[in-house]
Amino acid sequence: MNAALLPHPLFAGFGGAIEFVFSKQESSVTGGKKVGGFEQVLELAWTQIEVSLLAILLACLIAIPVGLYFGHRGKGELVAVGIGNAGRAIPELAAIALVATVIGVGIPVLVLVLALLGIPPILTNTFVGVRQVDRASVDAARGVGMTELQIVRKVETPLSVPSIMTGIRGATVNIVATATIAPLAGVLTLGDFILGENVYGADGVLAGAIVVAILALLFEFALAGLQRRLTSKGLQLQQAQ
Amino acid sequence: MNSGLLGMPLAAVGEVGEGFFKHRTGATLPCQARPAHLFCWDWATEHINRFGTPALQQFELVVISVLIGFAIAFILALIAHRFKPLQFPLLAGTGVLFAIPSIAFFMLLLPITGRGRETAIIALSAYTLQIIYRNVMQGLNNVPDSAKDAARGMGLTERQILWKVELPLAIPEIVGGIRIATVSTVAIATLAVFANAGGLGSQIYSSSNLVFPTAIIIAGAIAILMAFAIDLVLLTAQRFATPWRRAASEAVP
């Protein structure tokens, strides 16, 4: 594909970027070493997917049980909702920059920071989801002799799946976006193309942006699909009405 | 601590500032250059002024972006409210804009708008659409049918019902959406530095380098405080815009 194939002059700038993704380009600062190309794009994309997935998983493992526990007990509303609100205000760039300059660089540290950014939305939405479960359903479950653990597992969790998934999707958007600036913390993700204009050139910057956008949308679609699969049929019917 | 370099009395050195000795007697480097130093109060008090302009730039970016985002999302929500089949496509469309990382969005706009404030504002407004749209829709959908029936019974037209009954009752959700959008936009606007649009990010990252912890902490803290301050203003505005809720919560049962 080349620039001539793209019809409008407005989009002419994208031609070089698409070329950058598929074939290696000369770079002025790497001493003749070529940059870009499918291999490098895949390598950086994989790192970004890896750290994002690890961070989402870690955030879920911490936030969902805590949210379920406090939601079930009906305690700590101010804290649970407050954490979500406060978490939203944390500037991702400052968080990454601070960790990189104070604690250090590398994948484990990065995953930890990304997970911390993901915890607030998941925790808050899990808590709110459980609190919104009809009390009559919980009482009915208790009436048929379910233990508290069974109520959480078989009644409250399935009924709060839509809310929990909203939290996970919000967290994922944030985590994938922040993983893009991970090169500042020494982990080379697709953001390296975006932040390294003097190495990769304007085409590389644009190519990075295109691939990051596609990657973020893949995450979003995958989670939307997962949400549909995890939501019980009865709940889907109820929502459709 | 001001005994001076090599025990030389300060008065003997004339024009050299006091800071010169402060930095070089205790340690060989000024504290902002020592990585182990988390927060350098001396530097902070001396250089706090340099954060003023970036903070103002960030504030402007946020206010303009949220205003544009609100205007568009509000109109989209009214359209979807009138033509129900459009609800889902609009939710999905704004969802796509929401999911694209802002930094990638900035760069995607480069061939079209170049670097600068416009680019940042377009990307940030696009980001807020989904949040505000979803909340306005939710607010309109939560209006009880009984309220609409009563309005209809009083002879209000559909348009009057929308503006005099449905929208006022949806104010808490609408303002809720604006609050979430604003707080997240303050955080994300820090990335506007990558679009050459200034903002507090310029005190965190400059010319391909991270600056030192003290400046990062100050810039981050200003962003967080700004988010909370705007949030508080919006919350107060919401309370004034919905006097019936205040009355309900103050009423003695």
Contacts of A167 (CB under 8 A, 6+ apart): A63, A121, A122, A123, A124, A125, A126, A129
The interface residues of chain B toward chain A in range 29-58, judged by CB-CB distance below 8 A, are 35, 38
Using a CB-CB cut-off of 8 Å, the residues of chain B touching A194 are 103-104, 107, 194
CATH number of the domain where residue A58 is located: 1.10.3720.10
Domain, as residue range, for A203: 35-232
In the prediction, which pLDDT does B18 show? Answer: 47
CA atoms within 13 A on the CB side of B108: 16
In the prediction, which pLDDT does B110 show? Answer: 85
The answer to whether position A86 is within a domain reads yes
What does the block give as tokens for A49?
């997917």
**Min Cα separation A103/chain B (Å):** 9
In the prediction, which pLDDT does B40 show? Answer: 80
Using a CB-CB cut-off of 8 Å, the residues of chain A touching B113 are none
Total domains present in chain A: 1
Domains present along chain B, CATH in parentheses? 5-37 (no CATH), 46-241 (1.10.3720.10)
Is B194–A194 a contact, with Cβ atoms under 8 angstroms apart? Answer: yes
The residue count for chain A: 241
The single-letter code of the amino acid at A18 is I
The answer to whether position A48 is within a domain reads yes
Contact B212, B33 (CB under 8 A): yes
Is A98–B217 a contact, with Cβ atoms under 8 angstroms apart? Answer: yes
Q: Which residues pair with A36 in a beta bridge?
A: A24
In the prediction, which pLDDT does B186 show? Answer: 95
Contact B135, A166 (CB under 8 A): no
With an 8 Å Cβ cutoff, is B184 touching chain A?
yes
**Min Cα separation A98/chain B (Å):** 6
Is A213–B212 a contact, with Cβ atoms under 8 angstroms apart? Answer: no
The answer to whether position A147 is within a domain reads yes
Q: How far apart are CA A45 and CA A37, in angstroms?
A: 12
Q: How far apart are CA B3 and CA A236, in angstroms?
A: 76
Q: Report the residue of B32, B178, B214, B216 to disrupt the A interface, i.e. the one with the largest count of A CBs within 10 Å.
A: B216
In the prediction, which pLDDT does B3 show? Answer: 40
Q: How far apart are CA B251 and CA B253, in angstroms?
A: 6
**Min Cα separation B199/chain A (Å):** 12
Phi, psi torsion values for B39, nearest 5 degrees = -135, 130
CB nearest B110 (choices: A93, A94, A206): A206
Is A194–B38 a contact, with Cβ atoms under 8 angstroms apart? Answer: no
Chain A residue with Cα closest to B127: A173
CB nearest A101 (choices: B193, B210, B228): B210
Is A209–B190 a contact, with Cβ atoms under 8 angstroms apart? Answer: no
What does the block give as tokens for A128?
């709110």
Is A216–B100 a contact, with Cβ atoms under 8 angstroms apart? Answer: yes
In the prediction, which pLDDT does A41 show? Answer: 85
CB atoms within 10 A of CB A2: 9
Measured distance between the N- and C-terminal CA atoms of chain B, rounded to whole angstroms: 66
Is B99–A194 a contact, with Cβ atoms under 8 angstroms apart? Answer: no
Of the candidates A179, A238, A239, the residue with the CA atom closest to the CA atom of residue A44: A179
* DSSP 8-state secondary structure symbol assigned to residue A36: E
Is A85–B194 a contact, with Cβ atoms under 8 angstroms apart? Answer: no
ipTM: 0.85
Using a CB-CB cut-off of 8 Å, the residues of chain A touching B208 are 195, 198
Q: Look at residue B209 and give its three-state secondary structure.
A: strand
The answer to whether position A164 is within a domain reads yes
**Min Cα separation A148/chain B (Å):** 32
The answer to whether position A238 is within a domain reads no
Q: What is the pLDDT along chain B (253 residues), one digit of tens a residue?
A: 344 344 444 443 334 444 444 444 444 566 666 655 677 887 788 888 888 889 999 999 999 999 999 999 999 999 999 898 998 899 999 999 999 999 999 999 988 888 889 999 999 999 999 999 999 999 999 899 899 899 999 999 888 999 999 999 999 899 999 999 999 999 999 999 998 888 899 888 887 677 788 888 999 999 999 999 999 999 999 888 888 877 777 666 5
In the prediction, which pLDDT does B23 show? Answer: 47
Q: Look at residue A174 and give its three-state secondary structure.
A: helix
Contact A35, A27 (CB under 8 A): yes
What does the block give as tokens for A210?
């295109």
**Min Cα separation A40/chain B (Å):** 18
E strand or H helix that includes residue A76: none
**Min Cα separation B122/chain A (Å):** 16
Which residue ranges in chain A fall short of pLDDT 50? 1-4, 6
Using a CB-CB cut-off of 8 Å, the residues of chain B touching A220 are 95-96, 99
The answer to whether position A7 is within a domain reads no
A126-138: burial string, b at 16+ Cβ within 10 Å, e else: bbbbbbebeeeeb
**Min Cα separation B217/chain A (Å):** 7
Is B100–A100 a contact, with Cβ atoms under 8 angstroms apart? Answer: no
The answer to whether position A60 is within a domain reads yes
Is A194–B35 a contact, with Cβ atoms under 8 angstroms apart? Answer: no
Q: Tell me what the pLDDT averaged over chain A comes to.
A: 86
In the prediction, which pLDDT does A52 show? Answer: 95
In the prediction, which pLDDT does A240 show? Answer: 61
